[in-house]
Structure 1
């Protein structure tokens, strides 16, 4: 635990780090600047652009109905376990059935097995088939490679607070349970921010505060659906007065001898300056800019509806379109959707959630193909994450908390149309079943993240710094990029 040092000297030191770079600055200690300079030199050409987008599915997506093994043995096990006597049975129809699962054919054969994805994801199937999407099987937090016997005997260190939503969300994003200070997206931003003219636009969330984007020096910049959020009342008429706005600005940004007021003013000045830069740099939404997403079809009702996730990704695309005006070469983004804690009514709830997911990813893929005349698909990679997977067994019409899960990586640089990692045996009581079909991960979050970081331009030393457990795993690069 870090204890707060209330001395005047320590307070001034922390305040200087927070505001040393001026109105647009991000705290960057000299040692960190040296590290980022080394990173830039290692990359060679720093005049390129790359972006990573973390798409987090809050609540824990059920992996067993998202990506399925459909060979005869696997499908028999699947239907046997997931078909219940209740009306809420969560088993999906077979390939070829009305509303059945959608077959996919990975480039790499896995012992004669066949596969499919959820019927609500035809757009994602098309991207997979086109080679711009890959599936990474059975990923989850691990400290060291772990066998079922070691897990049962607790003979190796295990991730803390397994099966807890808040803690595992934090563990996925920031290596530690709830309360973690730094996430691996923010740490990548720390080391690559020197490539950007305005470091404040390095780590950007379109979905509220996320520990994933918190760095030691980089602060995440949060945007709304319309982009940069302005402080109300600083321009125009305020309470019927044309001068009140300027007075308000002076109050909230003026210098003072009080340390807390001084830091508040510095943060406010940064926010005002950042908004004034980002707003005109972003491409407009709609005609002449980044196309508005179409509505998606709710698979349960057949009705069209707006897709909030697609709108978040439109905001990301609008910022990416302004990369040159912002002087951005490396950016990390965060978007999310909730509702995946499907203890009840899973079949209908997940169908709608995955329809939104597929529709939004397809919209983003299409948008990246033509960002104001440039095809950026090779330079932008989106990946999914979630609290954990879910049990293979059903509780009647839903599932309970699990561990390992399957994830998608999408982009032009992805070595797609493949499944990475050994797809787990379908059923119960196998070497990856820690109970009720909850999967013991075979790929760690560190390996998953390190592969993304390697593509993003980080060195081996920097990856070791960002992912503290990666040294425990032989395979540091999973090869999907």
Structure 2
């Protein structure tokens, strides 16, 4: 594997969001404190965590999930040209229901193949499924409507920054005040469900829009725990972080005549203490029983190992509802698609499979759903060496509550110029809205029907939130609230 190339792509994809300055650390500290509300008496009794892995750059998901029957694979091969994967190279996915068609997964994904087909060969332990041709929509759109522009379309389609925002806000028409749908869910749930001042929205990948609410926001950590001024994981007594901590403590522990200064100092002191509490819990947790599920040297796996620890610590942290944000950058494969995607999928596959196996080992599998998100899909037609920005894509959903081993949604016709193609190199028009995907997970998460439109403003265009059925149907019977 070209590790230097993967590392460079990782840096390019994440450096803008993951590096925190002193100012953003202070912002995180204050938000950590401000996010807390007293828990209501009708708080849920169970624990649930929603995990997002964001694949920055736009993953080519039509080489991740591929038709395997002879007729559809022939169409796929003709359309994809030099980027097509051979049918014998695919790892077979054995559906248990779903759309009844034959599919294969990319050859780099042995772990996801097992999660789809059943852990240890046990079909009852199917933990993974795919949602096909999902994307940002304001309302359902046909090809004729797209070409005639007779219905509203997402703003700046095919733009990285805009589509990242839209996957994370679920408001493709744009917003005057940006907030993410996980953040708005926290606005609804945090004060009811959680008993601590630690934010329910925890990011392992820097600041993100998905977890920003109107009254709540994210708590940014690293795979080594909380970001603190104390340097409590640094053993050297004269380490600069420890020396700086003494100065910070001296400032915030002073008494101030000015009430604003005094309040700010007290708030900062309490916030730092909460981060130190988090870090102490994180460091004290013995992860030796699950560490072996994650491949050595897999930095994505280290994010997921930390996520597993944070899920195991939910009770100690007072978080009955929790979201976790992770990211993996570098998927903008205009060139070098076949080689580079194969290398990156090895890392992603090992991390996801290790995470799910760790949750099963800890008996936490039924209280966690993990899903993948990305900027957009890629063009079906090759540009010669890779693919370009497109629209609809395939997304992964994973966990004990998921009725795994199935392909949900409507897999598109991969013929160029088909009714599923906008007509520009194989940009599939989504047949499943991100709202439907998010609404189903939010029903499981516990967002009441009366609050669903606050979290997903466009959901009424795709789903009746008062319905007893689900918008897509990938949850196991009885798993949602």
Matches within 5 A, 1:117-266: 117-130=105-118, 131-174=126-169, 175-176=171-172, 181-194=178-191, 195-232=193-230, 245-252=245-252, 254=254, 265=265
Change (3 A) 1:454 1:91: same
The question of whether the paired residues in 1 share the 8 Å contact of 2:51 and 2:325 is answered with yes
The alpha-carbon distance between structure 1 residues 306 and 152, as it changes in their structure 2 partners (threshold 3 A), is same
**1:419 aligned to 2:407?**
yes
Question: Is the CA contact (8 Å cut-off) linking 1:25 and 1:270 kept in structure 2?
Answer: no
Output aligned runs, 1:72-83, within 5 Å. Answer: 72-83=70-81
| Matched position secondary structure for 1:390 | coil
SS at match of 2:168: helix
Shift of 1:284: 4.9
What is the Cα deviation at residue 178 of structure 1?
9.4
Which one of 334, 340, 343 corresponds to residue 334 of structure 2? 343
CA positional deviation for 1:324:
1.6
Cα distance between partner residues in 1 of 2:231 and 2:110:
46
* Partner of residue 431, structure 2: 442
Q: Are residues 394 and 254 of structure 1, via their aligned partners in 2, closer, same or farther at CA, if it must alter by over 3 Å?
A: farther
CA contact (8 A) 2:230 2:242 kept: no
- Change in CA separation of 1:245 and 1:442 when aligned onto 2, cut-off 3 Å: closer
- In structure 2, C-alpha distance between the alignment counterparts of 1:105 and 1:23, rounded to whole Å: 44
**1-side partners of 2:357 and 2:176: how far apart?**
37
Cα 1:414/1:457, change in 2 over 3 Å: same
| Residue pair 2:135, 2:393 contacting (<8 A) in 1 also | yes
Instruction: Tell me the equivalent position of 1:113.
Output: 101
Contact 1:133–1:411 (8 Å) recurs in 2: yes
**1:10-25 residue pairs with structure 2 within 5 A?**
24-25=33-34
In 1: Cα distance, 2:361 partner to 2:449 partner: 33
Give yes or no for contact 1:283–1:319 (8 Å, CA) kept in 2.
Answer: no
What count of residue pairs does the alignment treat as equivalent?
A: 430
Structure 1, 114-123 or 384-393: larger mean CA deviation: 114-123
Q: Please state how far the C-alpha of 1:238 moved relative to its aligned partner.
A: 5.8
Task: Report the CA distance between 1:200 and its aligned residue.
Answer: 2.2
Structure 2: tracts of 5 or more residues without a match: 1-26, 119-125, 466-470, 476-481
CA 307–255 in structure 1, closer or farther in 2 if over 3 Å, else same: farther
How much does 1:294 deviate?
3.8
| Partner residue of 2:368 out of 353, 374, 380 | 380
CA deviation map 1:371-412 (0-9, x unaligned): 3xxx01000110010000000000011000000100110000
- 1:186 offset after TM fit, Å? 1.2
**Shift in CA distance, 349/178, structure 1 to aligned 2, threshold 3 Å:** farther
SS in 1 for 2:133: strand
Equivalent pair of 2:132/2:409 in contact (CA under 8 Å): yes
Give, in whole Å, the separation in 2 of the partners of 1:185 and 1:443.
20
**TM-score with structure 1 length normalisation?**
0.82
Which residue of the partner structure matches residue 469 of structure 1?
458
1:346-357 aligned at under 5 Å gives the runs: 346-357=337-348
- Which of 321, 336, 353 is residue 362 of structure 1 equivalent to? 353
CA root-mean-square deviation: 3.0
**Aligned equivalent of 2:123:** none
Give CA deviations for 1:87-127 in whole Å, capped at 9, x if unaligned: xx3211213xxxx01111222363x6321111111110100
Selected match of 1:322 from 307, 313, 317: 313
Identify the range of structure 1 (326-335 vs 274-283) with the bigger mean alpha-carbon deviation: 274-283
**CA pair 355-252 structure 1, distance change in 2 beyond 3 A:** same
**Residue in 2 that maps onto 1:92:** 85
Distance 1:233 1:350, change over 3 A: closer
CA distance, structure 2, for counterparts of residue 284 and residue 366 of structure 1: 22
State the match for 2:16 in structure 1. none
Q: In the TM superposition, what whole-angstrom CA distance separates every residue of 1:298-334 from its partner, at most 9, and x where no partner exists?
A: xxxxxxx621211111111111121121111000000
* Structure 1: tracts of 5 or more residues without a match: 1-17, 84-88, 296-304
Deviations 1:121-150 (A, max 9, x none): 111010011221111011111001111111
How far the C-alpha of 1:423 sits from its partner, in A, is 0.9
Q: Which residue of 1 aligns with 2:22?
A: none
Aligned residues of 2:199 and 2:216 also touching (Cα < 8 A): no
Relative to structure 1, the CA distance from residue 474 to residue 196 in structure 2 (aligned partners, 3 Å threshold; closer, same or farther) is: closer
